[in-house]
Structure 1
Amino acid sequence: MKFCDNCAARVSDDAVFCANCGMSLTSDSAPSQNNTQGAPQSSASPAENTSYNTYGDYYQQPYIPTDPFDHTHEFSPEEISENKVFAACVYILGVMGIIIGLLAANSSKYVRFHVRQALKIYLLAMVSMILGLVFFWLIIPIIAASVFVIILFVVMIIGFIDAWKGRAKELPIIRNFLK
Protein backbone atom coordinates (compact mmCIF):
# COMPACT_ATOMS: atom_id res chain seq x y z
CA MET A 1 0.00 0.00 0.00
CA LYS A 2 1.14 3.50 -0.75
CA PHE A 3 -0.08 6.89 0.41
CA CYS A 4 -1.25 9.91 -1.54
CA ASP A 5 1.23 12.79 -1.25
CA ASN A 6 -1.60 15.33 -1.27
CA CYS A 7 -4.10 13.97 1.27
CA ALA A 8 -2.22 11.08 2.91
CA ALA A 9 -4.99 8.60 2.11
CA ARG A 10 -4.10 4.94 1.57
CA VAL A 11 -4.30 3.89 -2.05
CA SER A 12 -3.60 0.59 -3.73
CA ASP A 13 -0.22 0.05 -5.37
CA ASP A 14 -1.67 -0.07 -8.89
CA ALA A 15 -3.85 3.08 -8.55
CA VAL A 16 -3.17 5.96 -10.93
CA PHE A 17 -5.33 8.53 -9.11
CA CYS A 18 -6.14 9.00 -5.43
CA ALA A 19 -9.73 7.93 -4.75
CA ASN A 20 -9.98 10.48 -1.92
CA CYS A 21 -8.73 13.71 -3.52
CA GLY A 22 -8.29 12.79 -7.21
CA MET A 23 -4.61 13.75 -7.42
CA SER A 24 -2.50 11.91 -9.94
CA LEU A 25 -0.23 9.35 -8.30
CA THR A 26 2.09 8.87 -11.26
CA SER A 27 5.44 10.56 -10.89
CA ASP A 28 8.94 10.24 -12.29
CA SER A 29 10.36 8.91 -9.06
CA ALA A 30 9.04 6.16 -6.85
CA PRO A 31 6.43 7.28 -4.36
CA SER A 32 7.92 8.17 -1.05
CA GLN A 33 6.56 6.79 2.18
CA ASN A 34 7.22 9.85 4.32
CA ASN A 35 5.00 12.84 3.84
CA THR A 36 4.41 16.09 5.62
CA GLN A 37 1.02 15.22 7.07
CA GLY A 38 2.42 12.57 9.36
CA ALA A 39 0.58 9.67 7.76
CA PRO A 40 1.12 6.31 9.43
CA GLN A 41 4.11 4.41 8.17
CA SER A 42 3.71 0.94 9.59
CA SER A 43 0.90 -1.33 8.51
CA ALA A 44 0.36 -2.44 12.11
CA SER A 45 -0.63 1.03 13.29
CA PRO A 46 -4.33 1.48 14.19
CA ALA A 47 -4.17 5.08 12.97
CA GLU A 48 -3.69 3.76 9.46
CA ASN A 49 -7.44 3.34 9.09
CA THR A 50 -8.02 7.06 9.75
CA SER A 51 -9.25 9.01 6.71
CA TYR A 52 -7.99 12.44 5.83
CA ASN A 53 -9.58 15.13 3.73
CA THR A 54 -7.82 17.23 1.09
CA TYR A 55 -6.41 19.58 3.72
CA GLY A 56 -4.79 16.82 5.73
CA ASP A 57 -7.38 17.03 8.49
CA TYR A 58 -9.23 14.06 9.93
CA TYR A 59 -12.74 13.44 8.70
CA GLN A 60 -15.31 14.15 11.36
CA GLN A 61 -18.79 12.88 11.85
CA PRO A 62 -21.17 15.31 10.15
CA TYR A 63 -22.91 17.87 12.32
CA ILE A 64 -26.60 17.11 12.68
CA PRO A 65 -28.41 20.27 13.74
CA THR A 66 -31.12 20.02 16.36
CA ASP A 67 -34.02 22.35 16.93
CA PRO A 68 -33.60 24.00 20.35
CA PHE A 69 -37.30 24.89 20.37
CA ASP A 70 -38.50 21.31 19.88
CA HIS A 71 -39.48 19.71 23.20
CA THR A 72 -41.12 16.57 21.80
CA HIS A 73 -38.40 14.32 23.22
CA GLU A 74 -39.39 15.39 26.75
CA PHE A 75 -42.74 13.58 26.48
CA SER A 76 -43.43 9.88 26.12
CA PRO A 77 -45.08 8.71 22.89
CA GLU A 78 -47.93 7.21 24.90
CA GLU A 79 -48.66 10.53 26.60
CA ILE A 80 -48.61 12.34 23.27
CA SER A 81 -50.94 9.89 21.54
CA GLU A 82 -53.42 9.90 24.45
CA ASN A 83 -53.59 13.69 24.80
CA LYS A 84 -53.00 15.21 21.38
CA VAL A 85 -56.72 15.83 20.80
CA PHE A 86 -56.92 17.89 23.99
CA ALA A 87 -53.73 19.73 23.02
CA ALA A 88 -55.16 20.56 19.60
CA CYS A 89 -58.48 21.72 21.12
CA VAL A 90 -56.58 24.27 23.18
CA TYR A 91 -55.81 26.25 20.01
CA ILE A 92 -59.18 25.86 18.28
CA LEU A 93 -61.64 26.51 21.12
CA GLY A 94 -59.95 29.56 22.58
CA VAL A 95 -60.23 30.20 26.31
CA MET A 96 -62.83 27.45 26.61
CA GLY A 97 -60.32 25.06 25.02
CA ILE A 98 -57.72 26.04 27.59
CA ILE A 99 -60.17 25.27 30.40
CA ILE A 100 -61.13 21.95 28.80
CA GLY A 101 -57.48 21.09 28.28
CA LEU A 102 -56.61 21.81 31.90
CA LEU A 103 -59.58 19.89 33.28
CA ALA A 104 -59.53 16.89 30.95
CA ALA A 105 -55.82 16.21 30.98
CA ASN A 106 -54.58 17.96 34.09
CA SER A 107 -51.81 15.42 34.70
CA SER A 108 -50.43 15.60 31.14
CA LYS A 109 -47.26 17.62 30.69
CA TYR A 110 -47.86 17.57 26.94
CA VAL A 111 -51.23 19.33 27.23
CA ARG A 112 -49.81 21.79 29.77
CA PHE A 113 -47.05 22.67 27.29
CA HIS A 114 -49.64 23.51 24.62
CA VAL A 115 -51.80 25.36 27.16
CA ARG A 116 -48.82 27.61 27.94
CA GLN A 117 -48.24 28.23 24.23
CA ALA A 118 -51.92 29.06 23.65
CA LEU A 119 -52.01 31.35 26.69
CA LYS A 120 -49.08 33.29 25.24
CA ILE A 121 -50.96 33.70 21.96
CA TYR A 122 -54.18 34.85 23.63
CA LEU A 123 -52.37 37.18 26.01
CA LEU A 124 -50.46 38.87 23.18
CA ALA A 125 -53.66 39.15 21.12
CA MET A 126 -55.50 40.77 24.05
CA VAL A 127 -52.67 43.25 24.67
CA SER A 128 -52.61 44.10 20.98
CA MET A 129 -56.38 44.64 20.87
CA ILE A 130 -56.35 46.75 24.03
CA LEU A 131 -53.59 48.96 22.63
CA GLY A 132 -55.56 49.29 19.40
CA LEU A 133 -58.65 50.36 21.36
CA VAL A 134 -56.74 52.82 23.54
CA PHE A 135 -55.30 54.55 20.48
CA PHE A 136 -58.44 54.21 18.35
CA TRP A 137 -58.21 57.81 17.07
CA LEU A 138 -54.88 57.04 15.37
CA ILE A 139 -54.99 54.85 12.31
CA ILE A 140 -51.46 53.39 12.52
CA PRO A 141 -51.87 51.61 15.89
CA ILE A 142 -55.16 50.10 14.72
CA ILE A 143 -53.53 48.79 11.53
CA ALA A 144 -50.49 47.51 13.45
CA ALA A 145 -52.68 45.76 16.02
CA SER A 146 -54.79 44.20 13.27
CA VAL A 147 -51.72 42.89 11.43
CA PHE A 148 -50.28 41.53 14.67
CA VAL A 149 -53.54 39.73 15.50
CA ILE A 150 -53.58 38.18 12.02
CA ILE A 151 -49.98 37.01 12.52
CA LEU A 152 -50.97 35.51 15.88
CA PHE A 153 -53.86 33.72 14.17
CA VAL A 154 -51.39 32.12 11.73
CA VAL A 155 -49.16 31.14 14.66
CA MET A 156 -52.20 29.60 16.36
CA ILE A 157 -52.84 27.48 13.25
CA ILE A 158 -49.19 26.35 13.33
CA GLY A 159 -49.64 25.39 16.99
CA PHE A 160 -52.78 23.41 16.16
CA ILE A 161 -50.97 21.50 13.40
CA ASP A 162 -48.00 20.78 15.67
CA ALA A 163 -50.29 19.54 18.45
CA TRP A 164 -52.28 17.37 16.05
CA LYS A 165 -49.07 15.82 14.66
CA GLY A 166 -47.81 15.09 18.17
CA ARG A 167 -45.02 17.65 18.26
CA ALA A 168 -44.21 19.97 21.13
CA LYS A 169 -42.46 22.90 19.53
CA GLU A 170 -42.33 26.42 20.84
CA LEU A 171 -44.27 28.53 18.40
CA PRO A 172 -42.52 31.12 16.25
CA ILE A 173 -42.78 34.79 17.19
CA ILE A 174 -44.31 34.13 20.62
CA ARG A 175 -41.29 32.16 21.84
CA ASN A 176 -39.47 35.50 22.09
CA PHE A 177 -42.21 36.97 24.28
CA LEU A 178 -43.08 35.89 27.81
CA LYS A 179 -40.31 33.41 28.53
Structure 2
Amino acid sequence: MNENQNKDAVLVAYLTILGTVIAIFMNNEEKKTEFASFHIRQALGIFLSFFLLGYFVGYADSWTVSSAFYLFYFILWIYGFSGALSGQKRLIPVVGAFFQTTFKSL
Protein backbone atom coordinates (compact mmCIF):
# COMPACT_ATOMS: atom_id res chain seq x y z
CA MET A 1 0.00 0.00 0.00
CA ASN A 2 1.26 3.47 -0.85
CA GLU A 3 2.27 5.40 2.26
CA ASN A 4 0.48 8.55 1.11
CA GLN A 5 -2.78 6.69 0.45
CA ASN A 6 -4.16 7.50 3.89
CA LYS A 7 -2.92 11.11 3.98
CA ASP A 8 -6.41 12.41 4.80
CA ALA A 9 -6.32 10.56 8.13
CA VAL A 10 -2.90 12.03 8.85
CA LEU A 11 -4.03 15.60 8.26
CA VAL A 12 -7.20 15.11 10.33
CA ALA A 13 -5.07 13.73 13.18
CA TYR A 14 -3.25 17.03 13.63
CA LEU A 15 -6.39 19.20 13.72
CA THR A 16 -7.62 18.55 17.27
CA ILE A 17 -7.71 15.75 19.81
CA LEU A 18 -11.09 14.79 18.36
CA GLY A 19 -9.47 14.74 14.92
CA THR A 20 -6.89 12.31 16.25
CA VAL A 21 -9.62 9.97 17.48
CA ILE A 22 -11.37 10.20 14.08
CA ALA A 23 -8.05 9.52 12.33
CA ILE A 24 -7.58 6.36 14.39
CA PHE A 25 -10.86 5.06 12.98
CA MET A 26 -10.00 6.26 9.46
CA ASN A 27 -6.75 4.27 9.66
CA ASN A 28 -8.60 1.00 10.23
CA GLU A 29 -7.37 -2.49 9.38
CA GLU A 30 -8.38 -2.38 5.70
CA LYS A 31 -6.64 0.92 4.98
CA LYS A 32 -3.94 0.88 7.67
CA THR A 33 -0.64 2.41 6.60
CA GLU A 34 2.56 2.83 8.58
CA PHE A 35 2.75 6.49 7.52
CA ALA A 36 -0.69 7.27 8.97
CA SER A 37 -0.02 5.24 12.13
CA PHE A 38 3.26 7.09 12.66
CA HIS A 39 1.65 10.54 12.46
CA ILE A 40 -1.40 9.54 14.48
CA ARG A 41 0.93 8.45 17.30
CA GLN A 42 2.83 11.75 17.06
CA ALA A 43 -0.35 13.86 17.06
CA LEU A 44 -1.89 11.91 19.93
CA GLY A 45 1.29 12.35 21.95
CA ILE A 46 1.36 16.10 21.30
CA PHE A 47 -2.25 16.60 22.34
CA LEU A 48 -2.17 14.36 25.42
CA SER A 49 1.07 15.82 26.73
CA PHE A 50 -0.26 19.33 26.07
CA PHE A 51 -3.32 18.69 28.22
CA LEU A 52 -1.39 16.83 30.92
CA LEU A 53 1.40 19.39 31.25
CA GLY A 54 -0.95 22.32 30.67
CA TYR A 55 -2.84 21.39 33.79
CA PHE A 56 0.31 21.92 35.85
CA VAL A 57 1.45 25.00 33.91
CA GLY A 58 -1.89 26.59 34.80
CA TYR A 59 -0.89 26.50 38.45
CA ALA A 60 2.16 28.67 37.71
CA ASP A 61 -0.23 31.59 37.22
CA SER A 62 2.37 33.38 35.11
CA TRP A 63 1.82 34.96 31.73
CA THR A 64 5.44 34.29 30.79
CA VAL A 65 5.33 30.58 31.66
CA SER A 66 1.99 30.09 29.89
CA SER A 67 3.17 31.92 26.77
CA ALA A 68 6.36 29.87 26.57
CA PHE A 69 4.35 26.68 27.05
CA TYR A 70 1.90 27.53 24.24
CA LEU A 71 4.71 28.59 21.92
CA PHE A 72 6.64 25.38 22.58
CA TYR A 73 3.64 23.18 21.77
CA PHE A 74 2.71 25.24 18.73
CA ILE A 75 6.24 24.72 17.36
CA LEU A 76 5.97 20.96 18.01
CA TRP A 77 2.60 20.91 16.26
CA ILE A 78 3.94 22.83 13.25
CA TYR A 79 6.92 20.47 13.03
CA GLY A 80 4.69 17.39 13.01
CA PHE A 81 2.08 18.87 10.69
CA SER A 82 4.67 20.07 8.16
CA GLY A 83 6.22 16.61 8.15
CA ALA A 84 2.80 15.12 7.43
CA LEU A 85 2.18 17.58 4.61
CA SER A 86 5.53 16.83 3.01
CA GLY A 87 5.04 13.06 3.31
CA GLN A 88 7.95 12.54 5.71
CA LYS A 89 8.13 10.53 8.90
CA ARG A 90 10.08 12.91 11.15
CA LEU A 91 10.12 12.28 14.88
CA ILE A 92 9.16 15.24 17.01
CA PRO A 93 12.30 16.40 18.84
CA VAL A 94 12.90 15.05 22.34
CA VAL A 95 9.60 13.17 22.79
CA GLY A 96 8.82 11.68 19.37
CA ALA A 97 10.49 8.31 20.03
CA PHE A 98 8.65 8.06 23.36
CA PHE A 99 5.31 8.65 21.59
CA GLN A 100 6.13 5.97 19.03
CA THR A 101 6.85 3.34 21.68
CA THR A 102 4.03 4.36 24.02
CA PHE A 103 1.32 4.29 21.36
CA LYS A 104 2.74 1.46 19.23
CA SER A 105 -0.58 -0.40 19.18
CA LEU A 106 -2.22 2.30 17.04
Fold equivalence (TM over 0.5): yes
**Counterparts of 1:101 and 1:144, CA distance in 2:** 32
Aligned residues: 97
Q: Match for residue 60 of structure 1?
A: none
User: Is residue 64 of structure 2 the alignment partner of residue 155 of structure 1?
Assistant: no
Q: Output the amino acid matched with 1:113.
A: F
Q: Which of 78, 93, 97 is equivalent to 1:172? A: 93
How far apart, CA to CA, are the structure 1 residues paired with 2:67 and 2:98? 18
1:177 and 1:151 map into 2 onto residues whose CA distance is 17
Structure with bigger helix share is 2
**Percent identity over the alignment?**
26
Name stretches of at least 5 consecutive residues in structure 1 with no aligned partner. Answer: 1-75
Change (3 A) 1:86 1:176: closer
The alpha-carbon deviation at position 175 of structure 1 amounts to 2.6
Per the alignment, residue 102 of structure 1 pairs with 24
Question: Which of structures 1 and 2 has the larger relative contact order (alpha carbons within 8 angstroms, sep 6+)?
Answer: 2
RMSD, aligned α-carbons: 2.1
Q: Where do 4+ consecutive residues of structure 1 move more than 4 Å? A: 176-179
Deviation of the 1:177 alpha carbon: 5.4
CA 155–176 in structure 1, closer or farther in 2 if over 3 Å, else same: same
Query: Normalising by structure 1, what TM-score?
Result: 0.47
**CA drift at 1:165:** 1.3
Larger-Rg structure = 1
Deviation string, structure 1 residues 99-123 (Cα, Å, up to 9, x no partner): 1211111222221211111122112
Runs of 5+ consecutive residues of structure 2 not aligned to the other structure? 102-106
Equivalent-residue separation in structure 1 for 2:53 and 2:66 (angstroms): 5
CA distance in 1, matches of 2:26, 2:94: 28
Residue 120 of structure 1 aligns with which residue? 45
